[in-house]
Every structure is written in structure tokens, then in C-alpha cells.
Structure 1
């Protein structure tokens, strides 16, 4: 076989692959695409072309629907079968997979829910979806060694003010203005969730513990401020000053130290970056 013929065969194969994927993504091929497919794919075993490629198209959508339900089981429960089917069909149509791994397929689901006119009237839906994505991210984060509280205790006093924390990759913060997490917890326990409540901002900390179980806890405002500061790279002295908005001056260092001790015991801290001795 000549090199030109090999190149021509590769070109035809590539075109067939592109046409077949276009059909899977579009569902209903236009006239030009349908004509090319009919010229490249034969009827076989008494099964027509339309039936054969329709089987593949249906299987493709079923697989993507299964992926979404695996990643978002409690969102599916919250919506119920009919609305869940409506959501997944609309999402697959609007956001066809562009990823090599199906793990990333649902990343755009929270934004889709915020934008879609049938679902954006209930912001709790996007919040539940976003929380479930955070759980996935925490579970899938790479493993790293975790620091012990004794390492902090062993620092020279002069190094404490400039000390910064580096967190385990699984650590995630989640903020929303709904009772999405409480609803998620109710569904997880087989209970009916309360009505959507948008009365206040809520904050949550998620991480994967040393037992490799994903965990989460709610955060008080001062805890959120403390975590956000340290995650942004602020040092111990700066974070003690930030606590003055929540506690008395003599309590600020104690509040920070107690929080740090808890974080170390929870396995949140990967390492310390001590400040320089002045």
C-alpha cells in the first residue's frame, strides 16, 4: 500500500470518527452528516443504519446519565425522577462531554443549574450540586504527609509571628446562602429535607481524613475568617489581629492556637512555613 493511500485511509477513518462523534453529540444528524454516515456504515444482520447508530447514541446518553447520578445521588433524590431526567437530558445536550475522563463531566453542572431558566429559580439546586462536587474533589485529592501539632510546638518563639500553614490538598471551603448541606444530610439519612431556606450564609469545611473518609463540618464566622486567611497565605500574627473582630485582644492568640491544634488533629495541615527570626 502506497504512502498516499495510507494517508487517504487515515483521512477517511478520521472523518468517520468525527462524523460518528458528531452524531452522538447531536442526537439527530443533519442531511449532510446523515448522508456521509450512510455512505460509510453498512446495514448488517438485518439491522438498519439508523437502528445501529441509534443504539450507540442511546448507550452514550445512558452512560453519561449514570455518571451524573453516581456523582450527584442526593441532588437526584431532591429533584425526583421526572425533574432529574429533564435536567440530565438538558445538560447532556447543552454540555456534551469534552473530557477524556468522565470524572470531570459534571464539573459544569452547578453553573448550568444557576443559568437554566427551569432550575435557577431554586438556587438550592446549584448549591447541592456544588457541595457534591466539593465532596468529589476532596475524595480525589492527592495524598500528602500531614504535619503534627508537635512540629508547631517545637518552633522557636521568634518564628511564630511569621509562621504560615500549608494545607492538605483535600481541604475545601464551601459557602452558600441556602440550607443545601442540611438538605443533603437529610437525604443521605433517608429523611425528607426541610423547605429551602435562604435566610443566612452558611460555611462548611471539607477534607479527606487520614482514614481516607471524606468529612465536613460547619464553620462559625470566626473559623471561616481564620481558615480563609491561612489558606490565602497569611501568617500567625496577621490572623491573630484578624480575630480582634470576633474576640477580645487577650483571647485572640488563644483562639488561633486552639483552632490550629484542632486542625492538626483533623489532619488538615500538610506542613509549616516558619517565619524568619528577626
Structure 2
């Protein structure tokens, strides 16, 4: 089975400095698998595959997973809280979990956005194959303007294969997409594949020109209101990675990690060693600045 050309990125904060590609087989834990502590089915790796990219594994299982692959080197481990929403109640039940101050802030943001657009929120939902095709036509140009696309290479995928996969999911009833409009123009989008009873937080983006109106937050809340009304889903999975947005909207979390398992070759040893040294240097710079070190000292350390 062919792997995926995967960039092993050297990053400072959200900015990618450079990357090295490897052919890796993704091993992705669904939220249900992570909560149950069960390992996904692992296909045998073809000879030309450099290894695996393990995504969103329960932190408690990381050691056991590495032990199962003694001929691989583990590295580039990232640890995070995997936030999710348990959708076993109503939207009103969900809102009740926020503090009064947070509920007030969310209402104020929605009212502010609506006031900028004549007094109502224009949020449109897309789920059929034809509707999701329309969603992609609206959201793709917007995605190119988002910081997710410009800085993180994480905008909406624009390949024919990715489009076909989303349309196939939509035809099977397994896509939920939303767009928030302002004066008739799209300013934020949200794309959610459906996996079983779980909504997967795949792509959220908004026009930075309207950041002061909090379009991402406004769209997230309105989409959740519509999704709770379907009374179909068990979880809303915010997937891997930390973030204030995920922490705010999530009701629960589980300690997870993502890491690489590369074949034990000289080149892979050098690559993972360089990545680990780079991450350690970035962490040292961050610690220095937090502890009162000057910006000039931080720059000097980065140059050394």
C-alpha cells in the first residue's frame, strides 16, 4: 500500500521554517478508539514506505505502540489535550456548561456580527453532494486568504482527489459544511466529515479582514446549534492539537499524542535527531523570553 508524502516540519510557533518529506503511512486514532484505548488496524508496510505517522493516540498507549515496532525509531512526539463535545443533550444543555460570563460574551459576538449585516446572521448549511460542491466553490477562494493556508499550509485541500473524496462523503450523507456570509459574501467556513456518530473538525477558516467581528466563533456556535438539532451525533471531535478555540467549545478532553515511527536507517536517525535538537532550541528560546531574557539574546541563541 503506498504511503503519503508527509512533510516533517521544523516549526517556530505556527510558522514552518523548513521541512523534509518522507513516505509515511498514517495511523489515525478515531475519538472512539482513543477513548476506548484500542489500537486501529495496522496494515503491513510496503518496502518503499519510510514509516508511520501516528496521530492522536492516547498518551497512555504511546509506549505500547512503540514497543510493537522495534525496528522503527520514534520521534517528533507532540502531546496535547484532544478536546471534544459530548453531544448527548440539547443545545441548551450544552450552553448551560459555559459560565454566565462566557455565554454573555458569545451572545454579544453573535449580536455584533448580525448588526453588521442588517440584524440577522446569514449562515448556510451544505450536506448533499450538489450542496457540498457549491460549498467548495465558495470556500476555496476564501481559504486562500486565511492564516491557516498562508502560514500553516492547512487551508481547504484543493486537489481533485480531495474534492472527489469530500463529494463522495457528501453523497453518502457524511459531510456537514457551513458558510457564514456578510453582505452576501462568504467570510467564514466550516467543513465537518462524519465518521459514524462523530463529527470531525476538519477545516475552519475565516477572512482576516473581518477578524474584529469574530466570524470563526460566530460560525462555530451557529453550526453547533444546527447540529444539535439533528439529534444524530454522539461526539464533536476537535482532533489533534491545542488551541483556545477548541478548549473553549469542548466539554471534555483526553491526553493524546502524535509522533513518527521511522525505519532505523542512518538518514532517519539524523533527521529525527536534528528535529529533536531544533525543538529543544526553540523551547530554550521560549523559556528565555518567558524568564525575562531579552529579544536580542533570543536572536543570538537562534543564530548560534
TM-score (norm 2): 0.22
TM-score (norm 1): 0.23
**Higher share of residues assigned strand:** 2
**Higher share of residues assigned helix:** 1
Between structure 1 and structure 2, the one with the greater Rg is 1
